[in-house]
Every structure is written in C-alpha cells, then in structure tokens.
Structure 1
Amino acid sequence: MASRNWIDLAQDADTGIETIRAHFRGHAYDPHWHDSYLIGVTEQGVQQFSCRQQRHISTPGQVFMLEPGEIHDGTAPSAEGFTYSMLYLDPQWLERELHALFEQAPAACQPGFASTLLGDAPLAQATLQAFQALHGNELRIVRQTALDGLLAQMTAHLHWRQTSQLDPRLPLVAQRARDYLHAHVHDDIGLDDLARVSGVDRFRLSRAFKAAFGMAPHAYLIQLRLAKARHLLARGETPAQVASALGFADQSHLGRWFRRAYQLTPADYRKRCTNHPD
C-alpha cells in the first residue's frame, strides 16, 4: 500500500518563502507553532485543526491563515485524509512588501489575520497561483506577479496592530517567562529560572503560561528551538551542528521532536531547502 502521508517542500531563493504541498491521513501533527505567516488552501478531503481556542474544519477550496506564534495541530477526521498547499511567509518580507505596495499600511504596526478560516474564492485562487509559481520555480517576473496578486487579495483580511513587546490580552507573568525563553533559548532552563524572573512560584507560572500560550513552558521552549532549527538547517548547517547549537541532547533527540512537529527528518528538510546531500 502507498505511504499514508507525503510532503513536497521547496524554498524560494529570492524571498525565502517555503512552499509545501502535503497529504495526511489520520493524525497529521502535534500542536506546534511557526515564526512565519502561514496561508494555504485545502485541496482535497477534510482538514481539522485547533487554533485560537477553536476547532476548525477546512474543506476543499477554503483558505486557512495563521499568524506567527499561533499554536495549531492537524488531523484528518475522514478515512481519505486531506491534501493542502501552503506558503510560509517571512514576517519581515511580508511587512516590507505590504508597506511598499499599499500606501494605507500604517507605520509602526504589524499585520495580523482577521480570521483563521475563510471561504474566499479569489483569495484561494491567488494563493494557489502564488504556490504554483514559487514551487515550480517559474521566471522571477512570474513569481513576483503571483505574489503581488496574493498580497492584493490578502489585504481585505488583514488588520493592523501597534507593534509592542507586551500584549494587553495576556498576563504579564506569562509574557515575562516567554521573553526569558526567547533570550535564553540555547540554555538549560529550569522552571525555577522562569518563576524567578516572573515573580511567582513555578506552579502559578505554569498555569498562567499554559493559559496564555496553550502549552507548558517546556513544550514552548522545544517549539522555539525547532523554529530556530528550521532556519539553521535551511542555511545548510547539519542536523548534528543544529542539535548541538540549540541545546538538544543529541541529533536523535532533535530528530524525534522535528518529526513530530513537521513530519520530516531534519536531514530531509535540509536537503529540500538547500539541495545539500544528507
């Protein structure tokens, strides 16, 4: 029998945008987050996922949009599974392009997605056209035209918020702990370290952190390291080098977590992004 799941991944050299077309049956991936903006289209089947404390059901032709840091999972509730095409948009690239193309984009603000799941046929078509142009490595002018078309369709679903380190919707305790994790991502961090900088005991810290970010501090730290691992692997560093740099016990430890989050091994991801052999 053919493999239940498959992933076809590529990276655009000019923009750094990753394009992924994948098929999953049953459980697709554990809760995780990315440091990119995600926009994709469900092509076939039913895609079920949780995000923003809601359960979403995406059917063929629907567009899903996720902001950096938004925790989501994935599963196929029906036997035939689901297929989707998706783009990972670098935040700096997206903000730069939006400010360059659209004069109404406010200064000192960052874009966000008003909705997670949309039934917007023109946006779905623009997403698939951008995916096909980048994934197929079309002429640069074709790729740029397709991306401009995608940005134009996305603007109807964007909202802008003031760029700030602090989010008034989240408890300060959890945000202090998160900032500490980002600043010490390479270190062997303990809950007592996070409790100390947050000013509460570690039990209250753990409850506040999970309520704010949807996962425990240790799981968040692993996701943070995995996001950084993707960047290092895409630059050509070996899985062994990445595991050592990011505080994983060894290459196998990195590999186990990487596969659970992305359904790819670190070596396979590196090869698809760089064309370097394993």
Structure 2
Amino acid sequence: MKQREWVTYRRLPDHPVEVMRAHFEGHIYHPHSHETYSFGFTEFGAQEFDCRGASRLSAAGMVMAFNPDEPHDGHSCDELGFTYSIVHIGTGLVTELLSDQAGRPAGPPLFTEPVLPDSLLSSALRRLYAALTGPAAPLAVDEALAATVSAMVHRGARPPLTRTAPSGAGTDVAQRVRAGLDDRYLEPLSMDDLSRLTECSRFALYRAFRAEFGLAPSDYQRLLRLRAARGLIAAGHAVSEAAAATGFADQAHLTRWFRRCYGITPGIYRAAG
C-alpha cells in the first residue's frame, strides 16, 4: 500500500453495521459485491466503477447506493486519488428500520441508480458516519441509522417491481449454477463439474451466469469464500485459520484477495471489532 493511501475500519458490536473511510490512489477494486446495503459518499476527488453494465462516476459530494449482491469494481480517476466513506448495513436491519413507515412499498428497497448527486443524502451520510465512529450515545447511533436509511430509501429507492422478473432458459441455467456454488463453494470445482450439474455446455453456462449475476462463476465462488472468511475472522479466529477453513491456499492468498475486494487486509478487519 502506498504511504499516501490509508484506511480506517470499524465493525459495530451490537449492530450488523460496518463502516470504512479510505483514501486510495493506485488501488483497484476487483469486481465484488456485499451481502449488505452499502451507502457511501465521495469526499475528495472522483472514483470510477462499473455497475449494471455501465461505467459510473462518483465525484466529491455524490452518494453511492449499492443493493445487496450488486457487483461493482472501482478505481481513482486521476493520480491524486479519492477519499470516501461507506457504511454497510445488514438487510435485516434495513427492513426493521423501515417496518413501521407508512406509504413504503412492500418488500425490500431497490436502488435503481448507483450514483445519486444529492446534497441532502450526502449530509445525512456524513452525520451517520460521525455517529458510528465518534463518541455517540447508543440512542444517537440508533437514531442516525433510522434517519439515514429512511432518507436514502425515500429519496433514492424505487419499488421492487422495477426489477425485471427472471425468465428464460439462460436464467434457469444461471440459477442452477449459483445454487451449486452456494452448496459446494469450498470444493475445487471445475467448469466440467458445473457443466454436469446444469447439463449445459461450459461456454453457455459461463455466459448465462455473467449475464444474470454480473460476475464469472469463479469470482462468485471466491466471493463466497471471502464472506465465509470474514465471518470466521469477526468471530475471533486467526487469519491463518480462516484461510485454511475457506479454501484459500494460505494466509497470503486470502490477504491478497481480501484487499482486492474489500480495500482492507484481514488483519485490519479483525482489529476493527
């Protein structure tokens, strides 16, 4: 990591919430996704990322909103880099925070635009970040979470009906590949294994999976392993133990991919709780 690059990270002990603030110049995120809703704002510079089949730009003052399991990457637009903060909030907590709000569409919120040029949302996220990382009372943290999630949903989300309903043979193949990977992600699967599982050619299943989920099957399998490793590390296991238990060749292998996808090392993540 360059000297001018830095990261701070915190996991809340009593909420499914994680918060990161970072400055990156040369770091390039590998395509990945999160199990959570992820809300961020760019403080300095600009970052570019691919999401939903298009290139996106988030400059200073802009807000980013990622749905759960939404693939994206990211990198700086120039040599000066960018500074940003991002909050990852568990889907169950978002549902709970919205449960009593009148007029809200049924089902989980869906953010149709990953970049929102909204100064009010940027201010709300700044206040939330301050509450999550500063000396704030538990009640103030809860209130900041509720207020920010509500603002994000009412200003940036749309009813879930805007999501295209799955259909077609390609979708069926992709869903079967995903189910197989979900069940057997620790195994050293090959494309031939997936081909036998889906009764589909290797090229066709790869194309269908990329079209449906925005990731290659190998990227999705690695992401499942990373998520499992995160859970073990958060539970107090050593990084080396987490690497061995989740299919990585060694601790260095896990560390390399952890930083490529999450911007931090497993050691920083372990110390953040």
Relative to the length of structure 2, the TM-score reads 0.91
1:137 Cα offset (Å): 4.4
1:111-150 alignment, distance < 5 Å = 111-150=109-148
Q: Is the 8 A contact 2:52 2:214 kept in 1?
A: no
Distance 1:23 1:73 in 2: 16
CA RMSD of aligned residues (A): 2.0
Superposition map of 1:239-254 within 5 A: 239-254=239-254
Q: Give the residue type in structure 2 aligned to 1:114.
A: T
Aligned to 1:188: 188
Q: Does the aligned pair in 2 maintain the 1:26–1:78 contact within 8 Å?
A: no
Kindly, what percent of the aligned residue pairs are identical? 37
Counterpart for residue 267 of structure 1: 267
Report the counterpart of residue 103 of structure 1 in structure 2: 102
Q: Distance in 2 between matches of 1:168 and 1:17?
A: 34
Describe how 1:58-73 pairs up with structure 2 within 5 A: 58-73=58-73
Q: State how far apart, in whole Å, the 1-side matches of 2:218 and 2:47 are.
A: 28
The answer to whether the Cα contact below 8 Å between 1:44 and 1:59 also exists between their aligned partners in 2 is yes
How far residue 52 of structure 1 moved from its aligned partner, in angstroms, is 0.8
> Matches of 1:197 and 1:212 in 2, distance apart?
18
Give 1:242 deviation, angstroms.
Answer: 1.2
Contact 1:24–1:83 (CA<8 Å) still a contact in 2? Answer: yes
- Matched position secondary structure for 2:272: helix
One-letter amino acid matched to 1:39 = F
Q: Secondary structure at the match of 2:35?
A: coil
- Aligned 1:1-278 pairs, distance under 5 A: 3-99=3-99, 101-107=100-106, 109-156=107-154, 157-161=156-160, 167-168=166-167, 171-273=171-273
Q: Distance in 2 between matches of 1:29 and 1:5?
A: 14
Structure 1 residue 193, shift from structure 2 partner: 2.3
| 1:161 to 1:197, Cα distance in 2 relative to 1, 3 A | farther
Residue identity opposite 1:208 in structure 2: A
Quote the Cα distance in structure 1 between the aligned partners of 2:233 and 2:98. Answer: 28
Residue type of the partner of 2:102? E
Q: Which shifted more, 128-137 or 167-176?
A: 167-176
| CA distance in 2 between partners of 1:118 and 1:265 (Å) | 29
- In 2, distance between residues paired with 1:29 and 1:155? 26
Equivalenced residue count is 268
The CA deviation string for residues 209-255 of structure 1, in whole angstroms up to 9 with x for no partner, is 22322332112111121122222212212112211221222222212
Give the letter for the 2:116 counterpart. L
The alignment partner of 1:110 has SS state of coil
For residue 268 of structure 1, report the CA deviation from its aligned partner.
Answer: 2.2
Structure 2 SS opposite 1:48: strand
Tell me the distance in 1 between the aligned counterparts of 2:245 and 2:93.
Answer: 26
Whole-angstrom distance in 2 between the partners of 1:174 and 1:80: 40
How far apart are residue 106 of structure 1 and its match?
A: 4.8
CA distance in 2, matches of 1:106, 1:263: 34
Does the 8 Å contact 2:233/2:266 carry over to 1? yes
Aligned counterparts of 2:214 and 2:196: Cα–Cα separation in 1: 21
Give distance in 2, aligned partners of 1:181 and 1:79. Answer: 38
CA spacing shift, 1:263–1:160, aligned 2, 3 Å: same
1:84-125, Cα deviation, whole Å (9 max, x unpaired): 1110011111112211x3133455x22211211111111111
Unmatched runs of 5 consecutive residues or more in structure 1: 274-278
Q: Is the 8 A contact 2:109 2:153 kept in 1?
A: no
Scaled by the length of structure 1, what TM-score is found?
0.89
